Chain A
Amino acid sequence: MSIQHVFIISKAGSLIYSWENKANESISVEKTYEWPLDVKLNYIDQKATVVFGENDKVKLRYTISAINKLNVINGKFIENDKEQDILEYLENESNYPLTLTFNSPQLTANEKIILSSMFHSLYTIAAQVSPTPKSYGIECLETTQFKLHCFQSLTGVKFIAVVSESFTQSIDGLLRKIYEIYADYALKDPFYAIDMPIRCEKFDDALNTTLEKYENTSAVTI
C-alpha cells in the first residue's frame, strides 16, 4: 500500500477533499501493566500521549484510548460513575495492575484542514522566496518515510498525493488523472458548488478505481 493520502485544496487554500488508504487505519495495542509504568505519558492536544519509553509495540505518539476496557476521551474516563483523570489515576500505585489500550496516531478531520491550509501557505512562500524567477511552489516534498507530490492547476486548485518512500510509479500521471476526474465528476455535477467540499459519490468511485489501478500497476512493476 504505497499511496497513503490524497488531498485536493481549493484556490483559497481550504481542504475540499481528502482520501486515506484504508491500511492507515489505527493500530490498537492492549497491554497489562504493573507498578511503576515503564512508559512516560504527557497530555498533547488533550490526549494522553507516549513521549518516552517506546517499545516494539507501543511507540512514541501513541495515545491511550481505554483503561481496563473503559473508554478514555480527552484524558478522562468514568469509573464507578465518577470521572477520573487518566494521568492522575496512573500515578496511584493502588490502581495497579491495570490494562491500557493504545492507538496509533490518526489525523482528525480538523487536523487535515489545518495541515492543508498550512501547506497552501508553504507553497506560496516557496514561490516567493525562490532564488530564480518564474518559480512555482512546492512540487515534491521528501522525507525519510514519504514523499508529498503536488500539482497546481492553472486555475489554482492543488492536487496532492502522499506516497511511501518506496513508491516508484510516476506521480505526474496520477495527479493529472485526478485533475481529470475532478473536472469530470465534481465540476460537471450541477449541484456541486465550486470551492466547497466535494461530496459526490461518482467522484469517490472514480477516484478509488484510479488509485486501485495505480496501486496494482505499481505492484506489477516491482
Chain B
Amino acid sequence: MAPQTIPGEMFAITYGCLVVELIKDYENVEDVNAQLDKMGFNIGLRIADDFLSKNINVGKCTDMKQLSEVLAKTALKTYLGVTGQVTSWSAGGDECSIIIDSNPLTEFVEIPDKYNGLKYSQIICGAIRGALEAMHMDVIVVLVDDVPNPTEIRLKFNRIIRENVPAGEDE
C-alpha cells in the first residue's frame, strides 16, 4: 500500500475545525489543550507502528541525539511534510528542542486575544509522546512556542518504561 497523501491545506483546515469545535465544547483553553494532547497521544500510540513498519531501517534509538534526529528528519517529514531542526541541547544531553519553521497546521492561523493560552499545535506533542510510549520511552514533550512564531517543541527524556520493554530490547 503506497503511502497516501492529502493536500496540506485540507489537513490544516480539518485540524482547524477540530480545534474550533473543542473550543466550543469546553469554553476553556486549558481543557482544550488537554484534549488536544490526549487525542495526539492516542494517535501516537497507533502511528508508531505505521512509522516503524514502513521505515525498516529505523532501529532502536539508544540515545537522545539519535531519537531527536529520527523525529525531526524522518517522522515529521513523513507525517507533516516538513523537517524540524534540533537545537538548544541541555548540558546533560537529555533535553532538546525541535523547531518547525513552517508548520502546516498553523499556516493560516491567527489566534484571537480571547483565546490567549491556547496551544494550537499541542496535538503534535501528544502524538510524539504517544509514539515514544509505544516504544516504551517516557519523554516529556512541551509546546514552548507556536502561532504566530515558529513551532518549538521541547523534549526531555524521563525514563525507559522498564515494565513494557519487550524481550530482547532491554540492553
Please give the residue numbers on chain A whose beta carbons come within 8 Å of chain B beta carbons, in ascending order.
11, 123-124, 126-128, 133-137, 152-157, 176, 179-180, 182-184, 187-188, 194
* Residue from the list B50, B53, B167 in contact with A176, Cβ < 8 A: B53
Can you pick out 19 interface pairs between chain A and chain B where the beta carbons lie within 8 Å of each other? A123-B167, A123-B168, A127-B168, A128-B167, A133-B171, A136-B167, A137-B167, A152-B168, A154-B166, A155-B135, A156-B165, A180-B53, A182-B49, A183-B50, A183-B52, A184-B1, A187-B49, A188-B50, A194-B45
Q: Is B48 at the interface (CB under 8 A from chain A)? A: yes
* Residue from the list B54, B135, B171 in contact with A180, Cβ < 8 A: B54
* Residue from the list A124, A179, A180, A187 in contact with B1, Cβ < 8 A: A180
* Residue from the list B135, B136, B164, B167 in contact with A124, Cβ < 8 A: B167
- Taking the nearest CB of chain B, how far is it from the CB of A44, in angstroms? 32
Chain B residues near A176 (CB-CB < 8 A): 53, 56
* Residue from the list B1, B45, B54, B169 in contact with A154, Cβ < 8 A: B169
* Residue from the list B46, B54, B167 in contact with A188, Cβ < 8 A: B46
Q: Would you list which residues of chain B between 1 and 25 have a CB under 8 Å from chain A?
A: 1
Please determine whether B167 and A153 come into contact, CB atoms closer than 8 angstroms. no
Knowing A179-B49, A180-B54 touch, does A154 contact B168 (C-beta < 8 A)?
no
Chain B residues near A184 (CB-CB < 8 A): 1, 50
Chain B residues near A134 (CB-CB < 8 A): 171
Please determine whether A136 and B168 come into contact, CB atoms closer than 8 angstroms. yes
Chain A residues near B165 (CB-CB < 8 A): 156
Give the size of the chain B interface in residues (CB under 8 angstroms). Answer: 23
Chain B residues near A133 (CB-CB < 8 A): 171
A-B contact count (CB 8 A): 68
Please give the residue numbers on chain B whose beta carbons come within 8 Å of chain A beta carbons, in ascending order.
1, 45-50, 52-54, 56, 59-60, 134-136, 164-169, 171
Closest to A152 in B: B166
Please determine whether B53 and A11 come into contact, CB atoms closer than 8 angstroms. no
Please determine whether A194 and B53 come into contact, CB atoms closer than 8 angstroms. no
Extra contacts besides A136-B167, A156-B165 (13): CB < 8 Å: A11-B166, A134-B171, A135-B168, A155-B52, A155-B135, A155-B166, A156-B164, A183-B49, A183-B52, A184-B50, A187-B47, A187-B49, A188-B50
Which of the listed residues A128, A152, A153 has the most CB atoms from chain B within 10 Å of its own CB? A153
- Taken together as a complex, chains A and B put the C-alpha atoms of A152 and B45 apart, in Å, by 17
Knowing A187-B46, A188-B46, A194-B45 touch, does A179 contact B53 (C-beta < 8 A)?
yes
- Taken together as a complex, chains A and B put the C-alpha atoms of A11 and B168 apart, in Å, by 13
- Taking the nearest CB of chain A, how far is it from the CB of B116, in angstroms? 32
Closest to A180 in B: B53
- Taken together as a complex, chains A and B put the C-alpha atoms of A188 and B52 apart, in Å, by 14
Chain B residues near A124 (CB-CB < 8 A): 167
Closest to B61 in A: A154
Please determine whether B49 and A157 come into contact, CB atoms closer than 8 angstroms. yes
- Taking the nearest CB of chain B, how far is it from the CB of A151, in angstroms? 10
Please determine whether B167 and A154 come into contact, CB atoms closer than 8 angstroms. no
Please determine whether A156 and B171 come into contact, CB atoms closer than 8 angstroms. no
- Taken together as a complex, chains A and B put the C-alpha atoms of A187 and B47 apart, in Å, by 8
Chain B residues near A136 (CB-CB < 8 A): 167-169
Chain B residues near A152 (CB-CB < 8 A): 166-168
Chain B residues near A156 (CB-CB < 8 A): 136, 164-166, 169
Please determine whether B168 and A153 come into contact, CB atoms closer than 8 angstroms. no
- Taking the nearest CB of chain A, how far is it from the CB of B74, in angstroms? 14
